[in-house]
Amino acid sequence: MTDTTDRVEDRLIAFLPNLRRFAISLSGSRDVADDLVQAACERALASADRFEPGTRFDAWMFRILRNLWIDQIRRRKTAGVQEDISDHHELSTGTGEREAEARMTLKSVAEAIGELADEQREVLLLVCVEELSYRDAAEVLGIPIGTVMSRLARARKNLGVAAGIEAAPARSDHSKGVRG
């Protein structure tokens, strides 16, 4: 029944760089990410028969990995560990600036992405970076497509402000809707 060209075990290795990038971007830590990727692969292989040939393998894998990550966050919160992982987000290669400095200087795009709210960052990663459709992103995140769109729009406006991505010639001040 399983299509030999569409088997999870045949596709996993080639997909590792993407999976790892998503994991690093979600967790902000390479160590955490590598564990997540490993756990997600293990899960994917164990549930390979759940993957429907013809559907998007990347979306399926992202969903598995993200579910693992969400559960880790839940546990960390419940355990009362207050460590905010985004404090040491490793998206950029440089060291993070102090907040006061950061407020004065524009951030790199990678830093700005790292500082987005989790729910905004993940949808940005899936759509803009991994090029999933809104519908596939909604699947991965388990949220309605309308929520994907509203979060994604907010993520990009916030990113634009933080990283100084100007909306072309600043002919008028149209800052409405931008969260300050």
Half-sphere exposure of 41 (CA within 13 A, CB side): 18
The reply on whether position 18 binds other proteins by CB under 8 A is: yes
The reply on whether position 34 binds other proteins by CB under 8 A is: yes
The reply on whether position 138 binds other proteins by CB under 8 A is: no
CB 149 within 8 A of CB 81: no
Q: For 27-43, give one letter per residue: b (16+ CB within 10 A) or e.
A: bbbeebbeebbebbbeb
> Least distance in Å: CB of 32 to other proteins?
12
Task: Please count the residues of this chain forming the interface with other proteins, following the rule CB under 8 A.
Answer: 71
C-beta of 104 vs 169, nearer to other proteins:
169
Residues 79-118 binding other proteins (CB under 8 A) are 79, 91-93, 108-110, 113
Closest CA to 3 of 64, 58, 53, 55: 53
Among 59, 68, 123, 140, binds other proteins (CB under 8 A): 68
> Least distance in Å: CB of 136 to other proteins?
11
Rg, Å, the chain Cα set: 18
